[in-house]
Amino acid sequence: MDPYEILGLIPEADDAAIRGAYLELVRRYPPDHHPQRFAAVSEAYQILKDEGARLRYRLFNLDPGMRSPIEVLQRRFAAPEARKPLTAEDLQQFLRQRAMQ
C-alpha cells in the first residue's frame, strides 16, 4: 500500500507534515491496542521520514532499511520485475547524495 495514503498525505508533504501525521496516527492507533494498524503506520513513516528515505522510495520503491547504495542497486537489478522505470535525473540525485555522505 502507498505510504502516503496510509499517513493521509499528499506526495509533496515535507518532513514536518510527515512527522505530524505520524504522531497523530500513533496516538490514535497505539501499538498496545492496535498492533497491526500501528505496524502499517510505522512502516509508512520509516519509508518517508526524511529526504534520503523518500528518494530511495521514489527511485527503487524499496525498503528504506538498506543502508548501502550497492545493496540497493543489487536488489534493484536482481528483482525479476522492475517496479518503476529509473530516470537519469533521479539516479544522479541519488548518487550525488551518497557522494556527500
Residue numbers of the site for other proteins (CB under 8 A)? 23, 26-27, 30-32, 35, 38-39, 42-43, 46, 63, 65
CB 26, min distance to other proteins, A? 5
- Give min distance, CB of 30 to other proteins, in A: 4
**What sign has the CA pseudo-torsion 58, 73, 67, 94?**
negative
To other proteins, the closest distance from the beta carbon of 88 in angstroms equals 29
Q: Which is nearer to other proteins, 78 or 88 (by Cβ)?
A: 78
**How far is residue 44's CA from residue 32's CA, in Å, rounded to a whole number?**
18
Residue 39 host element (H or E): helix 35-48
